[in-house]
Each structure stands twice: as structure tokens, then as C-alpha cells.
Chain A
């Protein structure tokens, strides 16, 4: 057991004109801090490719997570996959990144571009061996993992980006590795790294991907706890209890809400110093309280964070917004999405009479719903969430 954990994120582009992606990602956590990630790329595109890659990745992920040897998995796949009538082969390439007890990574790659690995912000050429299983040549490597190791697996749609259009030979693996190198150690999440890579592919394809294109990133990082307090407690007498619990936990602290920050400021006997710079016209300015890492307005700010979180799990278009902006919502998003692995929410259930005006979109029910939605989204990002109500 160590303090490491994996941040895993991916992004796919569909072959132009197709509704289904022929690449498929399957991730299974096996409990003992081990995770199996599989990226499979089915032959062709559309429905057929999607079925092939889904079957392949499901079979491999399930079998590997049960500790079954790769030879067996490959045999099972060969025996299971439906045979394409046109080409008379059953075919799906795959890449497996198997994280074993957060200590080691086993990388297996069949006919996909080899996994790119970075260590301490530099490309790291790991040694691999060639296996021959049922006539299939598979690259196998095993590396001890360290904090900040980053692995990027790709389907061949990435290296074929721009063939015959913007580039003669496509975007070679070597060039992709150089392109991503500078981005790996600045703290971007796995999802953002994958998105940056596929966005660049989309650009090289001139907006019309000629193949399903997928990037899967695994970042090894240390656990980081963040605490977020929003709303005053329903019983006034619980204020001190709530704040002392909130302050007792390790990690960074965020306070959201005007009344909430007043409670914290009284408890700490430190003044709230508000800011009046509007970095985003819709988001109220932040403030400072000594001892608290970030103080923001409440429900409007959290509403924006919630929107960013939903988008992060879908298209991840808005990372261009929250990744650099200085408003409260973008700062909370960076802390929760990028920095945190474990998040404790301290949610007060007091009803603010001034917010119960039906003309204002900030009433009590909306606030509670926002917190629920946000914590669900954060769970889907792979974070450990605890919500405490007061």
C-alpha cells in the first residue's frame, strides 16, 4: 500500500459520419488497488467495429481482472469474435494497461501504436518483449510505477491523423510523444491530456476524422484531499461544530457562500477581505480569509462548477474555460477536478429566506440538488467523495 493512485481519462472521436465509435475503452477496478484498462479498436468503423471492440475489451478486462493469463484471454477472443463476411477475419486490436496494487504497470499491446510513457516530464523508453500467442505478436512490458508517471495509449486513428491531407505520413508516434511531452507534468488531468491529443488529431483531420480516434491516459499521482464547505447549518448552534470538523481535516479548504464564509471568519477571528474583480461577468468575485485556501460566493458559483463537471464527463469542451480562468468557479473546478482525489463536502441545510424568492434561480432545493449532482459527477471522475450534512 502506498499513497499513489491512478487518474484515468480518455476521449474518442468517431469516424466521420458514424454515430458509434469503433474504439472501446473498458476499465475495471479489482479492489486491491489494481485496475485493468483496455483500449480496443475494432476492424472497420460503425456498428461492426463497435461490436468487435466492445466484446474484445469486455472479455479482456473481465478475464484479466480475475487473474486469468493473457494466452487464455487471446484464445477466448479468437473463439468468440464474429467473423467479418467481407474480410473473412475477426479482428480487433487492443492495448492493456494493468496497474497492479499501485506498484507496477503491465503493458500489453497488440497491433495498436505502442503506449507512450513519461517519467518526470520526459519520455521514457521502457523495455518490452515480444510474445507470440496464437500467431499474434504482442508487446509486453512491466514497469515499476512512480509518482507522475504518465501512460498514453492510442488507437491507430491518432497516428493516421492527417494522412495525405495536412501530413504525408500521418502524425507519427514519435511526433505525438514530443507534442505531449511538455504537457504531462503541468498538472493537467488524464481526461484533459486525452482531449488535447484528440483535439489535435481532429485539427489534422481537417475536422473529419478518417478513422475512429481514441486516446487513453493514465497518470500516477499521490492522493490529495480537499474539503469544501457550503451553506450554514440548519441549526444555528451547530455552526462551531460544523466549522471545527471542516477545519480538522487535512488538505486544502474551500468555503462557498456569503453567510458560510461569515461563520468561518467569526470562528477563526479573521476578517473576510472581498475582491471586486469580475474575471467572469456572471460569477461573483472571490474573497480571502487567512487560513482558507479559497473563498467564493455560493450557489451561482457552484452551479457553474456543476456545469463544468457535467461537460468534463461528456465532451470536455469547457476545459479551455476552467483550465486558466481566474474566477471562483474556474478555481474551484481546477482544485476539484485536477488536484483532488478525495473530497469531503460539508453541506449546511439552512434555508436562506432571501433566496426563496421565486424570481431568483437560487432557492434551497436547487442548492441541495446542485451538491448532489456535483458529487455524483466527481464520483464518475473516479474521486472518493464524502458528503456530511449539518
Chain B
């Protein structure tokens, strides 16, 4: 599974660092490092819905406060 977080200017200001760090932590905690590849990307041209995150080409809008829920429903449940 490939998870990509936008680190462009707009998403950065909306908290992509905390989203990246949240996901890094949760992936580590759940021993998913072998199964989930976490990466960054520059602007996905969807700034209005930032922080933009894709899971295997499917788009999501995540905020630092919703990282944990997002991880449970979209990553942990499907991996």
C-alpha cells in the first residue's frame, strides 16, 4: 500500500507536517513499515481540500486532528 501526503505550501500551512508525523508514528506502532510505503509529494492541485493524502491513487482530505481516524479506517482496516 502506498500512502502519499502533499507537502506543498498550502497543505503545509494546513498541517501536513503533523499529518506526516502522525502517520509515521501510527505505522510504526502497528508494525506496518513493511506493508505501507509513506511518501511525500508536491502540490496535487487540490489545495482547497488540503491536507491532501492519497492511498493507492484514491484521494482523501485529512487534517492533523483526523489522522488517527483516517489511519484506522483507510489504512489499518485495508492493509
Give every chain B residue within 8 A of A362 (Cβ-Cβ).
9-10, 13
Bound Cα distance A275, B38 (Å) = 10
Query: B28 contacts the other chain (Cβ, under 8 Å)?
Result: no
Bound Cα distance A276, B20 (Å) = 8
Bound Cα distance A194, B10 (Å) = 39
- Are A272 and B5 touching (Cβ within 8 A)? no
> Which residues of chain B in 1-31 are interfacial with respect to chain A, using CB atoms and an 8 Å cutoff?
5, 7-10, 12-13, 16-17, 20-21, 24
- Are A272 and B42 touching (Cβ within 8 A)? yes
- Are A274 and B42 touching (Cβ within 8 A)? yes
- Are B43 and A258 touching (Cβ within 8 A)? yes
Give every chain A residue within 8 A of B47 (Cβ-Cβ).
354-355
- Are B10 and A284 touching (Cβ within 8 A)? no
Given the interface pairs A276-B5, A278-B20, A281-B17, the reply to whether A354 lies near B10 with Cβ below 8 Å is: yes
Which of A272, A275, A355 has a CB less than 8 Å from the CB of B9? A355
Bound Cα distance A257, B39 (Å) = 18
> Which residues of chain A in 342-364 are interfacial with respect to chain B, using CB atoms and an 8 Å cutoff?
354-355, 357, 360-362
Determine how close the nearest CB of chain B comes to the CB of A257; give it in whole angstroms: 8
User: Chain B CB within 10 Å — which of A275, A278, A284, A300 has the most?
Assistant: A284
Query: B41 contacts the other chain (Cβ, under 8 Å)?
Result: yes
| B binding-site residues for A, Cβ under 8 Å | 5, 7-10, 12-13, 16-17, 20-21, 24, 38-43, 45, 47-48
For the complex of A and B, the 3 pairs showing the least CB-CB separation, nearest first, are A354-B47, A258-B42, A258-B43
| A binding-site residues for B, Cβ under 8 Å | 257-259, 261-262, 272, 274-276, 278, 281, 284-285, 287, 297-300, 354-355, 357, 360-362
